[in-house]
Amino acid sequence: MTPAEERINALEQAFGALDDPANPLGADALLAADAAGEVLPEAEKLLDEHAFNAEFVPADLGGRLERMDMLGRILRPVFRRDASLGFGYGLNCFFAATPVWTAGNSDQRSHAARLLLGGRRIAVARHEVAHGNDFVRDEFTLTTVPGGLRLDGSKSAIANASRATGLVVFARTPGAARGRSHSVLLLDRDELPADRVEDLARRTTTGMRSAEFGGLRINECLVPRSAVLGEQGDGYELSLRSSLLIRGLIPSIVLAGADTALRTVARFAVRTRSDGRSSLDVQHVRDVLTGGFLDLLLIDCLALVATRALHLLPRQMSAYAAAAAYLAPKLVAESMDEMAAVLGEKSFTEDGAYGMFQKQRRDLPVTSLGHAGSAGRQVSILPQLPYFARHAWFADPQPPAGLFRPHEALPALDLSQPVLLGDGDPLAATLVAASDQLESAGPPGPDGSAGHALRFLARSLTGELADLKKAFEVLPLGDREALASPHSFGLADRYTLVLAAAACLGVWREQQSAPADRVDSFLADSAWTTAVLYRLVRRLGLPLPDRPGACERRVLDEIVARLHNRRSYDLYGSPLP
């Protein structure tokens, strides 16, 4: 077990059992704090004791951040319990610090690291989002004046606005050239004139009630030129480059909340009623549970690929991070709606045994960074697809096997390497290769009816990739009008489903050759892969083989086993207290 894995397990166990009424960090205490709109002090104290903020600081600056896939995993024990805690305590600090890690000079990076390692917080005031609502449509402006720069303006939706010492501020320069209109500043609030900075009222939210979304007004505040990250006008590019790191973490945090929701519904479904039956006797309930678990496995495969690609495929990873961040919240939201129907009126309960389901359902839209984030992720995928169609699909080699091996070491994270537009799509090559191998008997395992279904499904998805190739080959490179059409957005959605299939096949294939002490018998079984691909092909509206009932029963058995054995509903089956 690596040191990072030891920290993950230690944090999970330190939080204790979520369903223990006597646990001061259990569901009852977290729900009470959520109802009061307050973060549970004992939970923040626990994170202090585990130096949780060190997880967000690169190792060369004294922190623990070495692998992005491990950062995604260590977030899960916190987000499994309370998104407000995970976001407000630390993840928002990482979001804020990412432009510093990406473009800051040595002094700026060291200063941000000292703040976080010293238990302080950093908040980010982002630039105005096009088509955003009034909740986020205000901004700061930056003007050149004798002796430095002047910062003015306000922002009313800043997480940890009043609790943060460090401030990363995106500010617009009036009259600047298009694409160079924003700059990014790293400020220390302790060094700003107190009469120039004012806290604005806290805004209430339906989800993540305990997180503080306040605001700041800054009036004619002189700041030094040395506060600028990179160069003046780099703000837009910095925002895009920062998203390459942030997006790969989105699947892990929504997955963690959905894990708790699925566990809540599974516990409801297996309970024996007075007539000796249970909800599991109903086929629809079995389908909902199975589908929810399969979606979590699919999401975790995308999370694995998106985070490990930062290390292994920095020049191709941008589409994978965007696809993972786009698809994960979408699938979880749909799954939550289906699970709510199983719970019925209990899905509205805000306390007691089923209160955590309602909390996780409320938190999800805020946790996943909302609707604008979803559209932005599709927009970042679309310009790459005509290039992939012409030069990558059915031509690129497969990615390194380490992309799908969570326990394999990774090269050091180099934030200078990721690029905004990929020059290839090796993940799609995994789908093509897996389909070819299955057709020719490929790796050991798939045979009989389940093996036939998997081959059929992989062939259908490869055909979908071929159709996408034809659709995007006819689009002129750089034709923004064609890419902005509803038809193109629909094709981009289909592409994310194809990538998800490729990620799942890659994880399953690598389990065939994993070391004996790293093989998971469930993941090595073709049942879950077949069932996942069946869901994806059905979602795409493609022809289907006979429903893989035996595979779905194997998946349902795993759901019940993990419920009773207290293990997580992800690729790792981690022990839970």
What is the pLDDT at residue 206? 83
What is the pLDDT at residue 66? 96
Ramachandran area for residue 402 (φ above 0: left; ψ -120 to 50: alpha; else beta) = alpha
As a whole number of angstroms, the distance between CA 141 and CA 172 comes to 5
213 has a pLDDT exceeding 70? yes
- Residue 575 and residue 566 in contact, taking contact as beta carbons nearer than 8 Å: yes
Position 443 confidence tier, pLDDT thresholds 50, 70, 90? very low
Residue 58 DSSP class: B
What is the pLDDT at residue 478? 77
- Class of domain 3-121 (CATH, top level): mainly alpha
Average pLDDT over residues 275-302: 96
Report the percent of the chain where pLDDT is more than 70. Answer: 95
Instruction: Say which residue the tokens 């305590």 belong to.
Output: 89
Chain segment 491-544, per-residue pLDDT in tens: 999 999 999 999 999 999 999 888 888 889 999 999 999 999 999 999 999 999
Position 224 confidence tier, pLDDT thresholds 50, 70, 90? very high
What is the pLDDT at residue 129? 47
442 has a pLDDT exceeding 70? no
Average pLDDT over residues 390-401: 97
Average pLDDT over residues 279-287: 95
Helix (H, G, I), strand (E, B), or coil: what is residue 219?
A: strand
Average pLDDT over residues 118-136: 68
Stretch among 31-35, 132-136, 225-229 having the lowest mean pLDDT: 132-136
447 has a pLDDT exceeding 60? no
As a whole number of angstroms, the distance between CA 44 and CA 58 comes to 22
Angle at the Cα of 357 from the Cα atoms of 530 and 521, rounded to 5 degrees: 30
- CATH fold, domain 240-407+422-565, is Butyryl-CoA Dehydrogenase, subunit A; domain 3 (1.20.140)
Q: Minimal CA–CA distance to 305: which of 376, 367, 247, 386? A: 247
Is residue 184 within a helix (H) or strand (E), and if so which, with residue range? strand 182-188
The DSSP result for 275-290, as a single string, is: TS--GGGSHHHHHHHH
Average pLDDT over residues 349-360: 88
Q: 506 is written with which tokens?
A: 């890659």
What is the sign of the dihedral through the CA atoms of 299, 301, 304 and 310?
A: negative
What is the pLDDT at residue 369? 64
As a whole number of angstroms, the distance between CA 540 and CA 192 comes to 54
Backbone angles phi, psi at 173, to 5 degrees: -100, 110
What is the pLDDT at residue 373? 66
Average pLDDT over residues 252-263: 96
Report which of residues 184 and 480 the model is more confident about. Answer: 184
Stretch among 49-53, 96-100, 154-158, 566-570 having the lowest mean pLDDT: 154-158
Average pLDDT over residues 198-220: 90
132 has a pLDDT exceeding 50? no
Backbone angles phi, psi at 278, to 5 degrees: -140, 170
- Residue 147 and residue 222 in contact, taking contact as beta carbons nearer than 8 Å: yes
- Residue 88 and residue 159 in contact, taking contact as beta carbons nearer than 8 Å: yes
The DSSP result for 60-128, as a single string, is: GGTS-B--HHHHHHHTHHHHTT-HHHHIIIIIHHHHHHHHHHHH--HHHHHHHHHHHHTT--EEEEPPP
Residue 213 β-bridge partners: 159, 203
Helix (H, G, I), strand (E, B), or coil: what is residue 235?
A: helix
What is the pLDDT at residue 128? 56
338 has a pLDDT exceeding 90? yes
Q: In the chain, where does the domain assigned CATH 2.40.110.10 lie? A: 124-231
Instruction: Say which residue the tokens 């699938």 belong to.
Output: 331
What is the pLDDT at residue 512? 86
What is the pLDDT at residue 553? 97
Q: In the chain, where does the domain assigned CATH 1.20.140.10 lie? A: 240-407+422-565
Q: Minimal CA–CA distance to 313: which of 167, 426, 235? A: 426
Q: What pTM, to 2 d.p., does this model score?
A: 0.94
370 has a pLDDT exceeding 80? no
139 has a pLDDT exceeding 90? no
What is the pLDDT at residue 136? 42
- Which CATH number is associated with domain 124-231? 2.40.110.10
Percentages of the chain per state (helix, strand, coil), in multiples of 5: 60, 10, 30
138 has a pLDDT exceeding 80? no
Q: Which amino acid is at 403?
A: L
17 has a pLDDT exceeding 80? yes
The CA-to-CA distance between both ends of the chain, in Å, stands at: 18
